[in-house]
Amino acid sequence: MKLLIVLVVLCLGVVTLTEAARPVSTEVVQKLKELEPVYKQLQDKVISEVAGAKLATATATDSFYKGVIADKETSLTRSIQLEDDMTYQFNGQASSVDASCLQMLRSIVDMNMNVAGFGYTNCVNNVEAGVKAELARVYQLLQVDESELFDISLLDVFKGENIISNPAKIIAKLTEKRSEIDGISLSFVADINAAVNAYSSRLGDMQNEYKTCLLGNESVLKGSFESTKNQLVQTCLGAIV
């Protein structure tokens, strides 16, 4: 019985000594535990920034299209109002005005509206070509290869090493690994944000150009209707009502 107690005590003593004699081996695991969340934080940062930039691009594009549609609606409404005003003039003429002359002017108004339709098409085609090119450009800049940033293994520090006999070398490698992760440049974040901001700015410029195109189209249409009014008075011998 005494012999058994002695053996148990000796065994416990060996375990205690073993644990006490290898604190560096235990430190390896602790260092690894500390490093893992740092690596995860880097991954989250990269993924979040890239996703955020792409979302901002999509939001800017959506806002642009809504603006273009609203501008088209406003311009089209004004053009139709111009046509309605001309129709009002024709309908308000006295019965003494030559009907065939009025009909000819009605045809001219209809043709001018159709020509204005080509102008609207040209305006929207130009802006669509522009936004398509800008989208291709910005998404090319947003093609961040995350694999290049994540090409870091946390476990390769054990390759060729022994956590029991020489844990200090592994700890040194883990320290280098931490420096490697901390040293990864996130300058691309500023680059992609700048690309998105530049994209939004160019969309604003294109929308202004689109508005100018629409106004130019309206101006030509309005000018043609003014000529028609002159023809109504001078050629058809009608009157402005």
Tens of pLDDT, residue by residue over 81-110, are 999 999 999 999 999 999 999 999 999 999
- Residue 6 CA, chain-centre distance (Å), reads 75
- Residue 95 CA, chain-centre distance (Å), reads 61
Collapsing DSSP to helix, strand or coil, 5 comes out as: helix
CA gap 135, 54 in Å, rounded: 11
Q: With CA atoms as reference, report the closest residue to 131 among 204, 216, 51.
A: 204
Contact yes or no for 141/54 (Cβ under 8 A) = no
CA gap 62, 68 in Å, rounded: 10
Which amino acid, 96?
A: S
The pLDDT score that the predictor gives to residue 210 is: 97
**Average pLDDT along the chain:** 87
Which amino acid, 89?
A: Q
Q: With CA atoms as reference, report the closest residue to 235 among 106, 98, 107.
A: 98
Residue with tokens 């520090």: 157
Residue with tokens 């629409």: 214
Tokens of 11: 């065994």
CA gap 63, 206 in Å, rounded: 13
CA gap 179, 163 in Å, rounded: 21
pLDDT, one tens digit per residue, over 145-180 is 766 666 778 888 899 988 888 899 999 998 998 888
pTM: 0.76
Q: Is 170 exposed, middle or buried (0-12, 13-18, 19+ CB in 10 A)?
A: buried
pLDDT, one tens digit per residue, over 102-145 is 999 999 999 999 999 999 999 999 999 999 999 999 998 888 77
CA gap 26, 239 in Å, rounded: 102
Which amino acid, 118?
A: F
Tokens of 48: 């979040």
Q: What is the CA radius of gyration of the chain?
A: 39
Contacts of 41 (CB under 8 A, 6+ apart): none
pLDDT, one tens digit per residue, over 34-46 is 988 988 888 888 8
